[in-house]
Amino acid sequence: MQQRIYVVTEKNSGYERLVMAQTPAQAMRHVTSDKFEVKAASAAVVARLMGHGAKLEQTTTATVED
């Protein structure tokens, strides 16, 4: 797969970064990897977070064109 340059924009500040990647998801992952981590939630974590008011978020199924 060929790489291309993506602009990743922080919505609140408008700050833009140029990232060379194969997909938009790969570019987003690169930009956010130092700020976030993702792992499966245990039942205890789900109970704790929902007990503090967290709501379950559903991803969209829309496809992103490269």
**Residue 21 is encoded by which pair of tokens?**
């990647």
Cα–Cα distance, 42 to 25 (Å, whole number)? 25
- For the chain, domain boundaries: 4-51
What percent of the residues of the chain are helix, what percent strand, and what percent coil, each to the nearest 5?
Answer: 25, 20, 55
pTM of the model: 0.69
Angle at 22 between CA 2 and CA 25, to 5 degrees: 160
> What is the per-residue pLDDT for 66?
46
Mean pLDDT of 26-51: 96
pLDDT > 90? residue 27: yes
Q: Are 15 and 9 in contact (CB under 8 A)?
A: yes
Whole-number average pLDDT of the chain: 92
